[in-house]
Amino acid sequence: MKFASWLAILAAATILSLQGCAPVVVGAGVGAGVMIAEDRRSSGIMLEDQVIERQVSKLISQAYEDQVRVSVTSYNRVVLLVGQAPSEESKKEIGLMALGTENVRTVQNEIAIAGASSFVSRSSDALLTSKVKSRLLNNDDVGANHVKVVTNNDTVYLMGLVTRAEADAATRTAATTSGVQRVVKVFEYLD
């Protein structure tokens, strides 16, 4: 594939991955209010999730510097860890760091024992996340703002506070998206 093609894919992935931020960038007052109103978490929990992500990321960075590549996502104080670590011991230690962080209820540790993923792999994952999010926007059976999508190594992780019917709809949507190899549900059920 030519460099220009890769550049176009990267630009599209970046733009699409930022689509969730558009209301904040365009009009923080109205856009953010709509996003908060549609989110089933309280504004306090949403803030806690942001703090948890920063704290866990900082702990990992301080302990491992460039030895690991781990992404931290918190949704309703449930932490999802994805990425790569050099050993089972480091994977477990990172999980314990996350679990020991204030306000964390539970941790789903999906870190792979492997070398760091390539830029191309991470770009592909960003594009895949955007494709799944876009398809969720067009799915009347689940509110796109009720599902958080995280992709790592062609595996899509779905998080959120949803009904079982919404979880099934979101899972079907993700699983039938071109390029998705596996779907992992990290949902909390309302029913």
Sequential DSSP letters for 80-147: EEEEEESSHHHHHHHHHHHHTSTT--EEEEEEEESSPPPHHHHHHHHHHHHHHHHHHHT-TTS-GGG-
Domain chopping of the chain, boundaries: 3-38+118-189, 43-113
Q: What is the pLDDT of residue 9?
A: 54
Q: What is the pLDDT of residue 38?
A: 79
More confident residue, 5 or 109: 109
Does residue 184 have a pLDDT over 70? Answer: yes
Q: What is the pLDDT of residue 32?
A: 43
Q: What is the pLDDT of residue 82?
A: 98
What whole-number distance in Å separates Cα of residue 58 and Cα of residue 63? 9
Q: Which CATH architecture has domain 43-113?
A: 2-Layer Sandwich (3.30)
24-78 per-position pLDDT tens digit = 333 444 444 444 557 999 999 999 999 999 999 999 999 999 999 999 999 999 9
Does residue 19 have a pLDDT over 80? Answer: no
71-123 per-position pLDDT tens digit = 999 999 999 999 999 999 999 999 999 999 999 999 999 999 999 999 999 99
What whole-number distance in Å separates Cα of residue 166 and Cα of residue 160? 10
Does residue 147 have a pLDDT over 70? Answer: yes
Does residue 10 have a pLDDT over 80? Answer: no
Contacts by 135-143, CB closer than 8 A, 24 or more apart? 135/173, 135/174, 135/177, 136/170, 136/173, 136/174, 139/169, 139/170, 139/173, 141/165, 141/166, 141/169, 142/166, 142/167, 142/169, 142/170, 142/173, 143/38
Q: What is the pLDDT of residue 12?
A: 52
* Sheet of 148-152, strands arranged across: 148-152, 155-162, 182-189
Predicted TM-score (pTM) of the model is 0.81
